[in-house]
Amino acid sequence: MSGRAVTISEVARHAGVAVSTVSYVLSGKRTISAGTRRRVLDSINALGYHPNAGARALASRRSNVIALVLPLRAGMHVPVLMRFASAVVTAARRFDHDVLLLTADEGTAGIRRVAASALVDALVLMDVELDDRRVPLLRELAEPSVLIGFPAEPAGLTCVDLDFAAAGARCVEHLAERGHDEIALLGAPSVVYERGTGFARRTREGFVEAVDAHGIKGVALACEETFDEVYETVRDLLLDQPGLSGLVVHNEAAVGHVLAALRQLDRRVPHDVAVVAICPDDVAERASPPLTSVLIPAEEVGREAVRLVMDKLEGRAVPESTLLTPQLAVRAST
Amino acid sequence: MSGRAVTISEVARHAGVAVSTVSYVLSGKRTISAGTRRRVLDSINALGYHPNAGARALASRRSNVIALVLPLRAGMHVPVLMRFASAVVTAARRFDHDVLLLTADEGTAGIRRVAASALVDALVLMDVELDDRRVPLLRELAEPSVLIGFPAEPAGLTCVDLDFAAAGARCVEHLAERGHDEIALLGAPSVVYERGTGFARRTREGFVEAVDAHGIKGVALACEETFDEVYETVRDLLLDQPGLSGLVVHNEAAVGHVLAALRQLDRRVPHDVAVVAICPDDVAERASPPLTSVLIPAEEVGREAVRLVMDKLEGRAVPESTLLTPQLAVRAST
DNA sequence: GCCGGTCGTCGAAGCGCTTCGACACTCTCC
DNA sequence: GGAGAGTGTCGAAGCGCTTCGACGACCGGC
C-alpha cells in the first residue's frame, strides 16, 4: 500500500490489453468479450488497483462526490442531524458516491467554492430555513441540489422532508380518538418560531387545523429547553386549563423535562395527562413511560434526498416537493 | 456560473502571462513581481476563476481533502460527535482542506478505498475503541492518520482525547474539597464497559484512584439510560449507602434522569446530594439545577486532531499521545 | 465472392493543473 | 566591463484517466 500507487497502464500491461480496454471494462461503456474482461479483472485484483480519483474526475468531469451542507444554526436537534448525515453517506455509497461535509460558518462561499472547483457533482442541504440565504445561490448553480426542509419559496427547487403538518394532525387525531377534548402543543423554543424554521411552524399549523377539524380545544405554545422553564410552562398550563388531558410535545430537548415536570406536579401519564411526542424513536423509548410518538424518519429522509439528487444528476425529472408520511407508534403514554 | 468553468489558461491569456506564472502566483512557490501578481489576481477576480480540484489533485498528488471516519457504533454521545465533526471541518478549512465523511458500515473497505484512490491525503478517526479493527489498517497505510480516542495498543499511532482519567479525578477532588467523603460514579451503560470503550474505563480508573488518594469512600457503577433503570440504580444506591452525599455522572443520556430521580426521592441538589457531571456544557446548563461539570471539549479535540494530521502531512514529527486537560465549571449543583 | 454491418480492441488526444529546466534580465563586485 | 549570482517568467512535459475515431475480424445475405 505504500510506495507509488498502481495505475491503469500497469493493469493494462499486466493483462496484455490497451489502457482504454481496461477503462471500458471498468465503466461498461463498450462491450468487452468475456475472456478479456476476466483477464482484466484478474489483473486488477492481482495488482490491487484503485482508479485515481483526481484523474478520473479530470477526464470524466465527474468527481463522484456530493456535498452535504450542515445547517446554519447549530441549535437544533443535533442527534437527528447526525442520523441524517449518516443516512446520506450510506445512501450515497450505494450510488458509488462519497460525501464531502461542509459547515455553514464558511457561509455561501463554501458552497460556491466546491461547486466551482468541481470538487462535487451535486449538493444536499440539511435543515433549510424559511428564509435561507443559501437558496438564491443554489438557483444560479449549474450543479443539482436537494434541500432537506422547505424554504419560504420552494418553486424551482427540490425539497424533501417529513410532512410535519400531517405529523401534528396525526397526534391530534390520536388524542381525539382516545377521547381527549382539551389538549395543547408544546413546540420549539420561541426563538425558533421567530427565525422562521419551517418544520416548527408546519407542525403547529397541522395541530391547529386538526384541532379545529375535530372540534376540540387546543392551544399551541412555544417551549423553552431548561427544566425550570419547562416546569413553569407545564404548571401554568395545567393551572389555566384544569380540564387539559392531552399533550403533544415537539421538542426533543424538552420532552424529558416535560415528563419530569408532570411527575413533580403529581400528574400521572397517561392516566391524568396523555402525552404524544414528535421525536426520534430512541428518545421516546428511553422515557418513562415510553412515549407514543411520531418518529423523525432521518434515515428515510436522507435516503430520499440522495435518490433525488442522483436522479437530477442523471438528468431525470424529479418532483419539486417530497413529503414523507408520518408514522405514529403507540406506546405507554396514551 | 453555468456553462464551462474558467480555466487557468483563460486567466493566463487575460492577464497576458504564461499558465505557469498564474500557478506560481496561486501557490507562492516561486517569486513573482508585485506588478505581475496584481494583474494575475485581478484577472482571477474578473473571470471568477476557481482551480479545478481534480486537475490540481492529479498534478500535485495532493487532494487537499481529509477523511473523517465516523465511529463503528452509533448509539453513543451523538451530539458530541456532531460537534467533533463540525470542529474538524472548520479546522480543516483553515488549512485549506475539505472533509470527506465516511461511515463505519462500509467497514475498513471505505478507508482503504479513499486512501488508495488518492481521494484523501490523510484520515481522522472519531471515537476509537480499545480493540478497533480499523487500527491495523491504518498502520499499513501510507497516508497519515490521527485517532480521536485511544486503542489498547497506541504505539506508533497519533491519538488525541480529553484526559478522562484526569476528568474523573478532578470530579472526585472537587467533591472531596467540598467535604464529601462518601461518593459514587454513575458511568456508561454496562455494555459500553464490556466492549472496551476507552474513555468510559479511563474515567472510572481516574475516579477510583482519586478516591483512594483522598482517602474517601467511593463506588463506581455502570448506569443504563432509561428513566426507570436510572431511578432504580439511584434509589438502591441511596438505600445501600445512607451516608452518600456526592455523585459523579458520566453519562450524557442519563444525567437528566438522575436529577429527576433525585427529585422524586426527595433529595435536594446540592443540599442532600451534590452532583458533578462529565458532559457537554449545554446539557449541564439546561439541567435543574445547572450542573457543575467537566465539559467535553469537542471543538478543542477536533481542532487538535486536524493540527496534528496537518503536521504529519508536512512531515513534521508529532507526539503519539495528546491528552487535553479537563476544565471544571462550578455551577449550582455542588 | 463481395458488400455492409457488428463486435471487440487499440491508439491518441485531451481534461486542467503543477513543476522542472531554461533563459533573458538586472544587479553586484572585483 | 565582465564573471557570477540572483530574479522573474516561460514552455513543455507529465499526472492517470476517459473517450472518440479507426480498424481488423467475423458475420450473414445476395
Residue B302 and residue B154 share a domain: yes
Taking the CA of residue B32 and the C1' sugar atom of nucleotide D5, their distance in angstroms comes to 18
Residue A290 and residue A202 share a domain: yes
**Distances from the Cα of A142 to the Cα of A54, B5, B72, B132, angstroms:** 21, 10, 36, 42
Interval B193-209: pLDDT, tens: 887 677 889 999 999 99
Q: What is the mean pLDDT of residues A217-230?
A: 93
Instruction: State how many domains chain B has.
Output: 3
Instruction: Report the residue of A47, A60, A82 to disrupt the B interface, i.e. the one with the largest count of B CBs within 10 Å.
Output: A82
Residue B288 and residue B242 share a domain: yes
Question: Closest residue by Cα to the C1' atom of nucleotide C10?
Answer: A18
Nucleotides of D under 7 A from a protein CB: 7-12, 14-21
Question: Do B164 and B294 touch, CB atoms closer than 8 A?
Answer: no
Residue A232 and residue A152 share a domain: no
Host domain of residue A121: 65-162+298-324
Interval A111-141: pLDDT, tens: 999 999 999 999 999 988 888 889 999 999 9
Mean pLDDT (chain B, rounded):
92
Residue B286 and residue B191 share a domain: yes
Residue A305 and residue A256 share a domain: no
What is d(CA A88, CA A101) in angstroms, rounded to the nearest whole number?
A: 11
Mean pLDDT (chain A, rounded):
92
- State residue A2's pLDDT score: 46
Q: Which nucleotide is closest, CA of A30 to its C1'?
A: C8
Residue B310 and residue B289 share a domain: no
- State residue B198's pLDDT score: 79
Domain presence at residue B57: no
- State residue A113's pLDDT score: 95
Does B43 have pLDDT greater than 80? yes
Question: Do B59 and B26 touch, CB atoms closer than 8 A?
Answer: no
Give the closest of A52, A100, A225 to B118, CB-based. Answer: A52
Question: Do A304 and A294 touch, CB atoms closer than 8 A?
Answer: no
Identify the weakest region by mean pLDDT among A53-67, B75-89, B127-141, B154-168.
B75-89
Can you give the CATH number for the domain in which B140 is found? 3.40.50.2300
Residue A141 and residue A239 share a domain: no
Beta bridge partners of residue B162, listed in sequence order: B324
Residue B277 and residue B186 share a domain: yes
Domain presence at residue A280: yes
Domain presence at residue A1: no
Order of all β-strands in the sheet with A122-125: A321-324, A159-162, A145-148, A122-125, A65-69, A98-102, B98-102, B65-69, B122-125, B145-148, B159-162, B321-324
Nucleotides of C under 7 A from a protein CB: 7-12, 14-21
Domain presence at residue B236: yes
DSSP strand E in A154-235: where? 159-162, 182-186, 217-221
Q: What is the mean pLDDT of residues B119-135?
A: 91
Share of chain B above pLDDT 70, in %: 97
Q: Which nucleotide is closest, CA of B12 to its C1'?
A: D10
**Distances from the Cα of A91 to the Cα of A99, A299, A315, B4, B106, angstroms:** 10, 9, 19, 29, 11
Give the closest of B57, B65, B260 to A263, CB-based. Answer: B260
Share of chain A above pLDDT 70, in %: 97
Q: Which residue has the higher pLDDT, B183 or B75?
A: B183
Can you give the CATH number for the domain in which B29 is found? 1.10.260.40
- State residue A74's pLDDT score: 56
Within 10 Å of residue B47's Cβ, how many Cβ atoms? 16
Q: Is the CB of A81 less than 8 angstroms away from the CB of B82?
A: yes
What is d(CA A99, CA A267) in angstroms, rounded to the nearest whole number?
A: 47
Question: Do A257 and A221 touch, CB atoms closer than 8 A?
Answer: no
- State residue B75's pLDDT score: 47
Q: Which nucleotide is closest, CA of A18 to its C1'?
A: C10
Does A280 have pLDDT greater than 90? no
Interval A148-191: pLDDT, tens: 999 989 999 999 999 999 999 999 999 999 999 999 999 999 98
Domain presence at residue A57: no
Question: Do A173 and A210 touch, CB atoms closer than 8 A?
Answer: yes
Does A1 have pLDDT greater than 60? no
Domain presence at residue B200: yes
